[in-house]
Amino acid sequence: MNAEKILRLSVPLLVLSLLAACGGGGGGSSGGSASGSSPVTSSSSSSSSSGGTLPEPAPLPAGETAPTEADAVRFLSQATFGPTATDLATVRGSGFRNWLVAQMMAAGPNYSTGYSTDVHTRGLKDFCAEYSFPSEYYQKNCWTEYYSAEPISREFYRNAVYGKDQLRQRVGLALGQIFVISNAEVSGTYGLRDYHQMLLDNAFGNVRSLLGAVARNPAMADYLNLANNDKTAPNENFARELMQLFSIGLCELNADGSLVGGSCKATYDNNGVREVAFALTGWTYPAGGVSPWGSSGWKNPTYYRGQLLAVPAQHDNAKRSLPGGGELAAGHTPDQAMDAVLDALFRHPNIAPFLGKQLIQHLVTSNPSPAYVARVSQAFASGTAYGIGTGQRGDMKALLAAILLDSEARGDSKSAADYGRLREPAQFIGGMMRALNTSTDGAGFFYWWGDEFGQSIFNANSVFNFYPPDFPLAGTSLVGPAFAIENPNSTLARYNLSNSLLYWGGLGAGSFPGATGTQADISGWLAKADNATTLVTDIEKLLVTGGLPADIRAAIVDAVSAWPVSTTSSSWRTDRVRAAFYLILASPEYQVQR
């Protein structure tokens, strides 16, 4: 009877979620071991090792009003993978700005450095067949552990759950979906690790430094064909995506993100792409790689550790036009040309609204107002916002402060239909595990659940990411980027994962060394189960900004109450907590971050 009641309630919630999907608002570390095994950290050791040193936020300044509970939940949904009771207390005690400053000073966690470079340094034609592995597991799972993104995906989810530097981890996810490389083309776990560590390292730096680190990264150079580029007939792939996706976009923009003159005026043409491609010739992989087919002249074999190596003799040093106007004088070196191109893009008026709006969409809302985008663009230009930043153009700390402290991000009442964003799968998974006090080894979310959700982290189908920033919501004038990968199957996957964690003992341990699986711990909520209304209300406050509609809340309380109080068994408490979490996690009010 009770199970049937929960099922009857989940079906209309599923329908509501689908309706919302149709129209609702919607330089890197280079060190590392060359050992023969990939690092694996258990969930228990992850918890202690992934936090780094986190400064305590300063107490709330005198005269400043403490954030309300609702806006603290909203803030943490935007700036972390999901609020916890401890986080809420910290934010309400220190205020938003102090919390941001402390997060920007937080150290670690870093991705493990032990991923082997042997796939590119041993010169074997068939590494997996010929290498002497440290254990039978690694021999049987060679491709997974040495070539794929699965091991660092495990680390990503452990960091999302346990990391005390939540802001850096959340911004790192956003940057990885703007400056995309993918395991679909890049084979080498250590290279994928180094690239995404570089993004974390630059999360609070400067956009110009970030562009330089991206452009000189060998894994990116492999992914978009910049390495070993022929000076007489260069591949244009990286040059095009550098402009289209990584910096200025296709159309001239005003500071508020609107089109200059109301229609698309191209920021560059095919000749502009070709000019940049010629300017970026003369780069090869760092030394260290070995090819079984011998030397290819100036072109170093594939190797992902470190930065690209300049080869001046293979660089086209003719006079070239730069993006946005200006020229690169003849006689330049590869480094001079690279810096000139990146400087031109960094000075371009488009870069502030182009990158700023996308970061707003990843963190706060899919449809920011032009005024919001303009304020963020101003912070990009000035390098300071709310007293945070160095005062240098492109300061990431200022950019993030402007995004997260803006009046459009803050405030208790966010009822506008066009406000918010769908929690993408990685955020949904991380937030749910944090709320359920989950222990995890991070496994299972790459090959299985990643496929079910349409988002296997670090393995986007193309350089255009898992979803585009301008994906339209049918029947509206709004965009809903993450809805591009949301469909009935992926919506059901959200409910199935919740069901697995709450009712089926979580995810079982895999076969890799140190595997523990993933298990929720709801014991801390059992004492609240006596009163169904109190239980539902307290979980709702943690998960749902602004609360559930009265009819949905009443229906959930009714379903939770259907588990009768018993004097002979304590299982009813567990059943009540499970039902409350499952139904609130299933609600559109949780699925759409408001």
Distance in angstroms (rounded) separating the CA atoms of residues 270 and 273: 5
pLDDT band at 33 (very low <50, low <70, confident <90, very high): very low
Distance in angstroms (rounded) separating the CA atoms of residues 255 and 83: 32
The length of the chain in residues reads 594
Q: Is the pLDDT of residue 226 over 50?
A: yes
Percent of the chain's residues with pLDDT above 70: 90
Per-residue pLDDT tens over the stretch 481-523: 999 999 999 999 999 999 999 999 999 999 999 999 999 999 9
Q: What is the DSSP string of 294-346?
A: --BTTBPPP--SS--EE-GGGS--S-EE-TTS-EE-TT--HHHHHHHHHHHHH
Per the listing, tokens 């402290």 go with: 405
Identity at 358, one-letter amino acid code: Q
**Residues 93-103, mean pLDDT to the nearest whole number:** 96
Q: Are strands 283-284 and 309-310 parallel, antiparallel or unpaired?
A: antiparallel
Identity at 173, one-letter amino acid code: L
In DSSP terms, 422 is beta-bridged to: 592
**Residues 519-541, mean pLDDT to the nearest whole number:** 96
pLDDT band at 20 (very low <50, low <70, confident <90, very high): very low
Residue 34: the pLDDT is 34
Residue 343: the pLDDT is 98
**Residues 145-154, mean pLDDT to the nearest whole number:** 97
130 CB-contact burial (10 Å; exposed 0-12 / middle 13-18 / buried 19+): exposed
Q: Is the pLDDT of residue 223 over 90?
A: yes
Lowest mean pLDDT among 309-313, 414-418, 463-467, 544-548: 414-418
Q: Which two tokens stand for residue 550?
A: 């009265």
Residue 55: the pLDDT is 62
pLDDT band at 54 (very low <50, low <70, confident <90, very high): low
Residue 28: the pLDDT is 38
Domain region containing 560:
2-27+522-593
The three-point CA angle 186-202-154 to 5° equals 50
Structurally, the chain folds into a number of domains equal to 1
Q: Helix 532-543 crosses helix 550-561 at what angle (to 10 degrees)?
A: 130
Cβ atoms of 352 and 403 closer than 8 Å = no
pLDDT band at 169 (very low <50, low <70, confident <90, very high): very high
User: Three-state DSSP class for 246?
Assistant: coil
**Residues 301-305, mean pLDDT to the nearest whole number:** 96
Which residues in 407-488 belong to E strands, given as ranges?
421-422, 439-440
Distance in angstroms (rounded) separating the CA atoms of residues 260 and 111: 42
Residue 7: the pLDDT is 37
Per-residue pLDDT tens over the stretch 550-581: 999 999 999 999 999 987 777 999 999 999 99
550 in a structural domain: yes
- Which helix (H) or strand (E) is 9 found in, with range? helix 2-23
Residue 487: the pLDDT is 94
Structure pTM? Answer: 0.91
Nearest to 200 by CA among 345, 52, 8, 15: 52
CB-CB neighbours of 312 under 10 Å: 11
Q: Is the pLDDT of residue 219 over 60?
A: yes
- Which helix (H) or strand (E) is 320 found in, with range? strand 320-321
561 in a structural domain: yes
Distance in angstroms (rounded) separating the CA atoms of residues 272 and 278: 10
Q: Which two tokens stand for residue 276?
A: 């940049």
Residue 417: the pLDDT is 79
Cβ atoms of 33 and 114 closer than 8 Å = yes
298 in a structural domain: no
387 in a structural domain: no
- Residue that wins the pLDDT comparison between 373 and 126: 373
**Residues 120-135, mean pLDDT to the nearest whole number:** 87
Distance in angstroms (rounded) separating the CA atoms of residues 96 and 387: 13
Nearest to 222 by CA among 146, 148, 138, 308: 308
pLDDT band at 32 (very low <50, low <70, confident <90, very high): very low
Identify the sign of the CA torsion 272, 278, 284, 286.
Answer: negative
**Residues 78-99, mean pLDDT to the nearest whole number:** 95
Average pLDDT of the chain to the nearest whole number: 90
Identity at 507, one-letter amino acid code: L
Nearest to 157 by CA among 478, 369, 429: 429
- Residue that wins the pLDDT comparison between 339 and 22: 339
586 in a structural domain: yes
Distance in angstroms (rounded) separating the CA atoms of residues 338 and 312: 12
Residue 16: the pLDDT is 42
582 in a structural domain: yes
458 CB-contact burial (10 Å; exposed 0-12 / middle 13-18 / buried 19+): buried
Cβ atoms of 318 and 149 closer than 8 Å = no
Per-residue pLDDT tens over the stretch 4-16: 344 344 444 443 4
**Residues 418-433, mean pLDDT to the nearest whole number:** 96
Cβ atoms of 483 and 21 closer than 8 Å = yes
**Residues 196-212, mean pLDDT to the nearest whole number:** 98
Per-residue pLDDT tens over the stretch 370-410: 999 999 999 999 999 999 999 999 999 999 999 999 999 99
